[in-house]
Structure 1
Amino acid sequence: MKAILYFHVILLAVIQISGQNIRLDLFLADTANWRTLHYPKTVKRFYEQNGFKYAWMDSEKDLLQGAVALLASAPQYGMSSYANQPQEFSAEKLKKAAHPTTAKDSVAMIRNDILITDQLITFLNHLHFGKYNPFYKADEIDERNIDGFRADEILAGALRKRNLQNAASEAQPKIKAYQDLQNYLRRTFSGDNEVPPETVTKIIINMERLRWVDTDEDSYILVNIPSYTLEFHQAGKISEFKVIVGKPSNKSPVLKSAIHYFTTAPVWVVPQSIMMKEILPKILKNRQYLTNHHYSFYNKEGHPIKGNSTTLKAVRSNPSQFTVRQSAGPGNALGAIVFRFPNPYHVYLHDTSQPNLFHQEYRALSHGCIRVEDAKQLAGLLLTGDGAANQIPELEEAMQTYTRKDFILKKPVPFMISYLTCRIHQGKPEMFRDIYGLDKNLEQKFPN
């Protein structure tokens, strides 16, 4: 209510200066007027593209109604309705505001035009990035172009074509898992599917999660933590692999990155937490553990040092000055190959020296990294997709002999780790165990 009153005060001030001719450019040029808007900079860019003309209140009736109808249809896209103030967008009030005869009517006209624009842009941004995106905050989305997406450009284009539904279609994620959920939800709203409310909620929260990791590329790798699977989408074909993910106490992170290269015969630099909690106690109990498992101590300069009693004493008193590395070979925790992708969590995708674990149904067993079954096959598919299938024999030789070699991709492949407790499989919802207990919090943000 305070925001609405503030909006009225500002608009009346503009009217007093310029009479009945309320100028959108002057109003939006004053940043003090932005506080009632969710994406003020994006709203301003939209009106710049529209020549600072009214977009909805001074247009044909069907366009205005289309804007309000699109906001009201948000639940069909797995979102809460954005026409959440029906008294503000009632047909009678909009009709009166679209034909101002007094200063008060002019206030309503500009106010509703800007509010509708901001609501549409908010809807499009939420549809593309998600409402609760952990990677991008609203002010960052408002400020700049992120991965080529600009809600103002999409809305302006839809306005020119007089087809607002196109804006929603263009903003939505293109990733297959999302499209499957969206299509099923749309059929549910049209009455084609009889679905329990709790299943609808699962679909909605997992659509939200997929907005956080979407990609426009046709080839990509999607890891899903709850299903313990990795999908490589390539040229319309999907290759599925089993994976091992982080334990609930060492959760694998949700992230969006790209695989740039992979390395055979990797050396494992043991993280400090694992060194202190797991490796060092075993070494202290039996010094032969170092040799038996091919571990070595290194000082902060990166030089190897002997694992004698003096070193162990120094490590115990000042562990941050030392690292432990495991040399390449059959017993290396990373296996014969590791796939590298930039991320702030220091996790990677890799082979394993314990392939028997893939036979288990419950595979939340790692310290956070993703272990993949048939890593050689995955590497071969990456090389083939990169136009380097001729390097596969070299890859196989390097893995067989534990020879270190980097295979650099000419075009990095998008790599995403997601947390999906529901997907559409063979036309029906398939549920997965919520192994990290993350559903409840998100479900509360999307009441059915």
Structure 2
Amino acid sequence: MQTYARRLALVLAFTLLPLSGCKRTHQIIHHATSSEPDYTPQILADITPGHIDGMKYPDFTDIQAQVNNLYDMRDVDALWVKGGKPTAQADAMLQEFSNAMQRGLRPEDYDASRWDERVANLKSPEGAALFDVALTVNAIRYLNDLHEGRTNPAHFTFGVKGYNEKKIDAVTILNTQIIDASDVTAAVDAAEPQSLQYKALKKGLKQYLDLVPQDHSDPLPEMNPNAKSIAITAGYPALQSLQQKLTLLGDYSGDANATASSADLTEALKHFQHRHGLNEDGKLGSATIDALNTPLTARVTQIVDTMERWRWLNDDYQNAAIIVNLPEFELRAFEGTGNDHHEVFRMNVVDGKSDDDTHHTPVIADQMKYLVFRPYWNVPPSIARKEIIPHMQKQPGYLGAKNYETVDLKGNVVSPNIAAIDKGTQMVRQKAGTSNSLGLVKFMFPNPFNVYLHDTNEKALFTRTRRDYSHGCVRLQDPPKMANWLLRDNSKWDEDSIADAMNDGQDNKTVLLPKPIPVVVFYGTAWSDDGEMHFFRDMYGYDDDLEKTLNGGRPYPQKPMKAVTEKDA
């Protein structure tokens, strides 16, 4: 009887060909010859509204076209259900959702706690279709989130070039690499960023997720921020708790069951301070105790937030030649590609001030194209109004004393006029030389914020542990080293010629780089260095902003939350 019914369906399908079209007829024939139930009406009923009640984020109109396309490729068949049960691939995806935190995502964003109930309802056509479409929606979201991140960097007024082109074809991946695959994990792995730092952070995330349930130590007694740091002695009241924390985190490697000596704990504390961007004096001060008392769940969040920012970067920047990590006050230069991407040097940097949000250095991914020896400093109008004009009003001759001059909008030197400076029709610039705020060279990757790397005449700042003192640009500890490395393939330049250009050369001399160099000005409060996790203060509150946005849920905002602020020096 069943065979007869299927043959009758085939006859009807061919009879209706002129009315229904080839595609629908093919679907009818396919379902008529399949041993599986035809869930097509129920699947279409779930897709059409672009909304499924019972999902954490029920509205999927933003990816509705992708969901439609995937089912069209598969004759509107159930993708994840066979014989009234989830396929092996469905089980693998459900496991991915449950373990999403291992990849820095939130399991509940993919309905992790809701799948058991859906599986229990698979026996009905409506239940099977709902399970299938809900899994497809969450799988597309999961792949998209892993590849490009959940949030748009433009929302935070960051300048990440190439983000809008950083798309993944989740439909093709599901159709060709997951729905029938023997190894779902491999396809999901490939959707993630391939940078070495991202992979290292992922390992660090697993380490800290494992540590969270093991932390049973008591918090250390807090200290007054103005009190002097104290040395570790046998009389310190929280010695046992301190040893437990340092042992758990791997900074102390001695016998966990024996009382450590003060000297050993001091060395362990120095190691902890090194990993947390603190003054490495081996003493207990308020900043060190705050870092020791920070919950490990907060460290997990730091790693997760940093991984999210890596997802914003396209292939040109995943393993960039120059990476500045702002919370670490560190620049790293790299050579090589892929797994051969290796660090060649690093140096301290000075970032924008953290106590004034108009001077916060933004996250930027762009191409360095040229450098300028003995640059002028063209003072941004906002800084001229806020800082230069008040000095001019109080101190006649201030501009000359500080090596400034005024120019018109064509760059011609003119007599200073406060009203014109205030109006923006006259610009203030600092002459080239050793007293110039930009020092003797700047490195340019044009961007809307007017942020760049440069030398400085305030060298003492590089010896400090915290180095947030600029108006927003990034100051380098060793600019000649950077210039020599960037121009290493240009036979006209070497250490001596670079030194001559900086000290005695032509003012404001532009030198083009042989080819653009990818630069990432990054914000990672977590960083993996030689296999160890390092953590830094959220000095600009960028992690806070990201968490608030993620906690707001889908759909995530796309528009900038504030205007671009020009920064300089």
- Could you state the TM-score of these two structures normalised by the residue count of structure 2? 0.64
Q: 1:32 to 1:113 in 2, by over 3 A?
A: closer
Match of 2:92 in 1: 66
Task: Give the C-alpha shift of residue 272 in structure 1.
Answer: 0.8
Q: Could you tell me whether the CA contact under 8 Å between 1:260 and 1:341 is conserved in 2?
A: yes
Q: 1:374 to 1:445 in 2, by over 3 A?
A: same
Return the alpha-carbon distance in structure 2 between the equivalents of residues 282 and 263 of structure 1.
28
Instruction: Say whether residues 1:263 and 2:387 are aligned partners.
Output: no
Instruction: Say whether residues 1:177 and 2:277 are aligned partners.
Output: no
State how 1:32-431 maps to structure 2 within 5 Å. Answer: 36-37=59-60, 38-47=62-71, 53-58=77-82, 61-81=87-107, 82-84=109-111, 86-90=113-117, 92-93=119-120, 95-96=122-123, 105-135=124-154, 146-147=165-166, 149-159=168-178, 161-189=181-209, 194=214, 196-213=296-313, 215=315, 218-235=319-336, 236-238=341-343, 239-248=345-354, 249=356, 250-307=359-416, 311-312=417-418, 314-315=419-420, 318-384=422-488, 387-388=489-490, 391-392=493-494, 394-403=497-506, 404-431=508-535
Return the alpha-carbon distance in structure 1 between the equivalents of residues 168 and 494 of structure 2.
37
Unaligned residue ranges in structure 1 (runs of 5+)? 1-13, 97-104, 138-143
Map Cα deviations across residues 385-423 of structure 1 (whole Å, 9 max, x no partner).
xx4365335444322324243333344222222222222
Return the alpha-carbon distance in structure 2 between the equivalents of residues 374 and 261 of structure 1.
17
Task: Give the C-alpha shift of residue 290 in structure 1.
Answer: 1.9
Task: Give the C-alpha shift of residue 182 in structure 1.
Answer: 0.4
Larger radius of gyration: 2
Q: 1:262 to 1:107 in 2, by over 3 A?
A: farther
Map Cα deviations across residues 405-442 of structure 1 (whole Å, 9 max, x no partner).
33333442222222222223343332222322444454
Q: 1:419 to 1:145 in 2, by over 3 A?
A: closer
% identity of equivalent residues: 28
Task: Give the C-alpha shift of residue 27 in structure 1.
Answer: 7.0
Q: Could you tell me whether the CA contact under 8 Å between 1:80 and 1:446 is conserved in 2?
A: no
Return the alpha-carbon distance in structure 2 between the equivalents of residues 415 and 181 of structure 1.
20
Match of 2:40 in 1: 22
Aligned length, in residue pairs: 410
Q: Could you tell me whether the CA contact under 8 Å between 1:68 and 1:89 is conserved in 2?
A: no
Q: Could you tell me whether the CA contact under 8 Å between 2:50 and 2:59 is conserved in 1?
A: no
Return the alpha-carbon distance in structure 2 between the equivalents of residues 92 and 414 of structure 1.
48
Q: 1:44 to 1:331 in 2, by over 3 A?
A: farther
Q: Could you tell me whether the CA contact under 8 Å between 1:260 and 1:408 is conserved in 2?
A: yes
Q: 1:299 to 1:28 in 2, by over 3 A?
A: farther
Map Cα deviations across residues 303-354 of structure 1 (whole Å, 9 max, x no partner).
32112xxx23x336x5222211222222221122211113222211111122
Q: 1:64 to 1:179 in 2, by over 3 A?
A: same
Map Cα deviations across residues 268-301 of structure 1 (whole Å, 9 max, x no partner).
2110111011112222333322223332222344
Q: 1:189 to 1:225 in 2, by over 3 A?
A: closer
Return the alpha-carbon distance in structure 2 between the equivalents of residues 148 and 171 of structure 1.
10
